Amino acid sequence: MTKILITGATGQIGSELTLVLREKYGGENVVAAGHKKSPNPRLVDTGPFVTLDVTDRAQLERTVREHRITEIYHLAAILSATGEQNPDLAWRVNMEGLYNVLEVARQTGVRRIFWPSSIAVFGPKTPRDNTPQDTILSPTTMYGITKVAGELLCEYYHRRYGLDVRGLRFPGIISSETPPGGGTTDYAVEIFYAAVRGEPYTCFVRPDTVLPMMYMPDCLKATLRLMEADPARLRYRIYNVTGMSFSAEELAREIQKRVPGFRVQYKPDFRQHIADSWPRTIDDSAAREDWGWKPDYDLPKMVEAMLVALQKRKERGEL
């Protein structure tokens, strides 16, 4: 019997992953946990919701025992830009949170963990094009440091305690339901909201900034595929994955093809430095070979889907 706990369930990925896992395992078997007291009604209507602070190990352990949890999808985290503004908070939430999840899992007999890593594990010394799976991990952000340390911690728990921890180095995730909060790749989501609202957009990175990205359906597909993969085939605990890479200007042009007259200006801020330290394109061949990873969305297909989804939300009065 599978009983899942999702931390960070109110976040960008969590809010959609919760619903997909509830479809698959049954609503009552997927406990959504977030620190917000009033989450999106869909999270509350489709299964159990608990308020949880992942830095509180006792509270986490109580939740896991009470609901007889067998798998944890640990998504609660502070993203890169917020992490630079509040490094102490990023360390506590990202490091203590993950450590608590792994420790509670070990002590209570939770069998499997999913944990998102990030392209932020790479740094200025890493090759920026076609960044390999095995390469230099020397990030310059607190967020990236917590992700590198987190990867090592996950590998340790696997080696030492046999915990089945799996993860993905996600690129920027683009989605139409819950906006991301405090990431460097947020411009690639914000730009769509502006376009659909009929407003101009001021982008916080230069037009020539290229970063790896992925559309949410691919993010959900990658997560499920990895968790379903035959353990004997996994050469790594944490895999590179990517969907597409484009510059901010290419994204703006692709939107302008469908929203004529949409205006974008560029005012780079501190997030430009973070973006400049990350890869432009990712080599995800290990994921393709080991568990059949293949994205469905490229830039034009993603832009089309995003505009259609946000337009519908606008018509429903949600934007």
Which residues are designated catalytic? 143
Residue from 5, 13, 32, 79 that binds ligand SER (CB under 6 A)?
Answer: 79
Q: Any idea which residue has 């969907």 for tokens?
A: 243
Joined tokens for residue 122: 């790479």
* Segment 120 to 149, residues that bind ligand SER, using CB under 6 A: 120, 143
Q: Which of 174, 164, 273 is nearest to 226 (CA)?
A: 164
Q: Are 254 and 167 in contact (CB under 8 A)?
A: no
Shortest approach of ligand SER to residue 47 CB, angstroms? Answer: 26
3-state secondary structure 15-84: HHHHHHHHHHHCHHHEEEEECCCCCCHHHHHCCCEEECCCCCHHHHHHHHHHCCCCEEEECCCCCHHHHH
Nearer to ligand SER, 18 or 175 (CB): 175
How many chain residues interact with ligand SER (CB under 6 A)? Answer: 10
* Nearest-approach distance from CB 119 to ligand SER, in angstroms: 6
| Cβ-based nearer residue to ligand SER, 17 or 79 | 79
Note whether 80 binds ligand SER by CB under 6 A.
Answer: yes
- CB of 181 or CB of 292, closer to ligand SER: 181
CA dist 310 and 306 (Å) reads 6
- Specify whether the backbone of 182 is left (phi greater than 0), alpha (psi in -120 to 50) or beta: left
In angstroms, the CA 33 to CA 49 distance is: 6
CB of 167 to ligand SER, least distance (A): 12
Nearest residue to ligand SER by CB is 183
Strand partners, 114: 73, 166
What is residue 140's DSSP assignment?
Answer: S
CB-nearer residue toward ligand SER: 12 or 100: 12
Question: Cα 1 vs. chain centroid, distance in angstroms?
Answer: 26
**90 contributes a contact to ligand SER by CB under 6 A:** no
CB of 165 to ligand SER, least distance (A): 18
Nearer Cβ to ligand SER (18/184)? 184
- Pair 110, 70: CB distance under 8 Å: yes
CB 161 to ligand SER: min, Å: 27
Site for ligand SER in 145-204 (CB under 6 A): 170, 172, 183-185
- Is 118 a binding residue for ligand SER by CB under 6 A? The answer is yes
Contact residues for ligand SER, defined by CB under 6 A: 79-80, 118, 120, 143, 170, 172, 183-185
